[in-house]
Structure 1
């Protein structure tokens, strides 16, 4: 993950992090442009949503849905 300084746009280095919850943390960051900027700041990193759910979750969801179909419908769906 790349972090840029919001002041000068230079590359910044994450020096530490503090977890706020399971999917949110504060990143403590220092600008590497120490001669002209040298800013230190806090950024928040958060999980938003999946683009593709994990395979395990997808398989469990499919199995759960299949249970609602009759045996004949299940066989038709899998191509038998």
Structure 2
């Protein structure tokens, strides 16, 4: 993950982090442009959503859907592949 200074847009380094919850962190950063800026700051990093869910979740979802439809339709769906 690249972090940039919000003040001068130079690269910054992550100096530490604090876990706020299972998917939210504060990351403490320092600007590398110490001659002209030298700011230290905190960003919040959070999980937002999946682009592709884990394979196991998809398989469980599909199994649950198949279990709740009539047997003839299950067979028809499986034969189409």
TM-score (norm. length: structure 2): 0.94
Task: Tell me how far 1:58 sits from its aligned partner.
Answer: 0.6
Task: Tell me how far 1:51 sits from its aligned partner.
Answer: 1.5
- State the match for 1:33 in structure 2: 33
- State the match for 1:76 in structure 2: 76
Deviations 1:3-50 (A, max 9, x none): 100000000000100000001000000001111110000000000111
- Unpaired runs of 5+ residues, structure 1, are none
TM-score (norm. length: structure 1): 0.95
| Alignment root-mean-square deviation, CA | 1.0
- Unpaired runs of 5+ residues, structure 2, are none
Count of residues in correspondence between the two structures? 80
